[in-house]
Amino acid sequence: MIFYDRTNERKILNNFFKKPGFGLYILYGRRRIGKTYLLKFSTQKRKGIFFTGRQITSEYLLDSFSKQVSEIADIKGIHFKNWEEAFDFVFSNSDKINYLVLDEFQYIVGAANEIPSILQALIDHKKTDLKLILCGSSISFMYGLLSYENPLFGRKTKYSKLTPVKFSDVVEFFKKAKPKNYHDILTYYAVLGGIPQYLRMIDLNKSGLDNLNNLFLKLDSPLKEEPLFLLSEELREPRIYHSILEAISFGYNSSGEISSKIGYNDSRKIQPYLKTLESLDLIKKVVPITEKNPLRTRKGIYKIKDNLFAFWFRFIYPNLSFIENDMSKKVMKEIIVNLNQYCSFVFEEEARKFLLKKYSFDRIGNYWNKDVEIDILAEKNDEWFAGECKWTNKTIGISEYKKLVEKTSKLPFEIKKYIFVSKNGFEENIMNLKDVILVEFGEFDGWDLKSGD
């Protein structure tokens, strides 16, 4: 099994299995992110049960579970009468059954809601060396599992939320590409995010636009309605959330703009929906980096955090009727016209991450007010750095430097150095300036510090 990233998670799980005695590990994260793959990798050399929940009745699930226990325990004809008997057997035979993974745990509990209480009683009163792992894709359900009201509250040994693969590790998915094109990789990342299953759908023998067409714009495209499916599993009123996400994707970013766009007169009415989307890691609230109290400021704006959702609600959701009526060429034209602008926002985000790691800034972000907008603003040891990112085919020269100097002259502090991050390099007239940091994101070399080390 090949892994990209997940080093920390594998180490945590390995230590979890090595520790003597009973252990309860809770793993959760959005669908397709690689939870099952991670757990199967971590258990492949161990003896135990890997049971996956399905949306069927409790009786069918129990029958399926009985068969797996019968096979692993090498005892023919096991058929448990109820879940309490089933789990008691597993807890009592941890010498033969070293671990029990309950994957898609939300479906298992949906069929038999007594299971958390049964597990609580066994954990509290049964001596065992079993390693129990509960894994789920429903973020809201798994949050509830960790809450005070749940019977399993306080029983976990470890828990992890599996997050998307970082851009620096996404590059590994393309190591067979010849040549490896970092501009294409960033474009794919801007569209699909760091979700392993989506990235594996890319055909390296096809162009980027052909891949987008196959993944989104055909009647049988695998991602044509993916966000709708994911949201339907989490939310009771998806239509309101759909409207909010579409509004944000088209640049309506403040709570006032969003509420007005979707037909609400009072922005307070959408606050619960925004908080839910934040808890699901689908949106994030961004504030100017200079704000002293980010949690209380009213200057915050909302952006879609999940790249697939950002792309889908910008280009696919508004055009589903065209795709369904075999008019996807119209949609592709819109994508071609706007894709570079869309990718530029992801490029900015990744540039800030690169700079943060390279220069160990105390803080880094962006800045805006009614008069000025700056892509990069960073602070280190009370000194400030300001920068611009350009995801265009033009080189950056002295004119861009002068514009940034003029723009930052309105700030209430001096700028020590000016940062420029370019997709396509720099003109000679800016290369020798002493107060600049120049970073190129080369087509075949990726991040490359040209000046300012």
CATH code, 284: 1.10.10.10
3-state helix, strand, coil in the chain (%, to 5): 45, 15, 35
Residue 182 located in a structural domain: no
How many domains does one find in the chain? 3
- H helices present in 250-327, as ranges: 255-261, 271-279, 307-311, 320-324
Together in a domain, 238 and 294: yes
Whether 317 and 362 map to the same domain: the answer is: no
Using an 8 Å Cβ cutoff, are 425 and 183 in contact?
A: no
Q: Does some domain include residue 44?
A: yes
The answer to whether residue 338 is domain-embedded is: no
Average pLDDT, the chain: 93
Q: Is residue 431 part of a domain?
A: yes
Is there a single domain that holds both residue 13 and residue 150?
A: yes
Q: What is the CATH number of the domain that holds 388?
A: 3.40.1350.10
Per-residue pLDDT tens for 77-131? Answer: 899 999 999 999 999 999 999 999 999 999 999 999 999 999 999 999 999 999 9
146 and 247: one domain? no
> pLDDT band at 5, cuts 50/70/90?
low
The predicted model gives 179-184 an average pLDDT of 90
Give a yes or no: residue 434 inside a domain.
yes
pLDDT, position 117:
94
Residues 226 and 352 in one domain: no
Residues 74 and 214 reside in one and the same domain: no
Q: Average pLDDT of 55-74? A: 94
**Residue matched to tokens 């094109």:** 181
Average pLDDT over residues 222-236: 92
Q: What is the pLDDT of residues 344-401, one digit of tens each?
A: 999 999 999 999 999 999 999 999 988 899 999 999 999 999 999 999 999 999 999 9
- Angle, alpha carbons 332-334-336 (nearest 5°): 70
With tokens 């105390």, the residue in question is 362
Question: What's the confidence (pLDDT) of residue 74?
Answer: 85
Distance, CA of 35 to CA of 160 (rounded, Å): 10
pLDDT per residue as tens digits for the range 28-47? 998 889 999 999 999 998 99
Is the per-residue pLDDT at 1 higher than 60? no
Please name every residue paired with 376 in a beta bridge, in sequence order, or none if there are none.
387
Task: Note whether 139 and 283 are same-domain residues.
Answer: no
Residue 1 lies in a domain: no
User: Residue 63: which CATH number?
Assistant: 3.40.50.300
Residue 149 lies inside a defined structural domain of this protein: yes
**Which of the listed residues 107, 130, 161 is the one where a domain comes to its end?**
161
| Domain membership of residue 305 as a residue range | 206-326
314, 361: one domain: no
pLDDT tens-digit readout, 296-338 = 788 899 999 999 999 999 999 999 999 999 999 999 999 999 9
pLDDT tens digits, one per residue of 250-307: 999 999 999 999 999 889 999 999 999 999 999 999 999 999 887 778 889 999 999 9
Q: How many CB atoms lie within 10 A of CB 296?
A: 9
Please check whether residues 388 and 286 belong to one and the same domain. Answer: no
- Coil/strand/helix, residue 61: helix
Q: Which residues pair with 426 in a beta bridge?
A: 396
Instruction: For residues 51 and 104, state if they share a domain.
Output: yes
* 222 and 316 co-located in one domain: yes
Which residues contact residue 168 at a Cβ distance below 8 angstroms, ignoring those fewer than 6 apart?
none
pTM across the whole model = 0.90
In this structure, the answer to whether residues 293 and 360 fall within a common structural domain is no
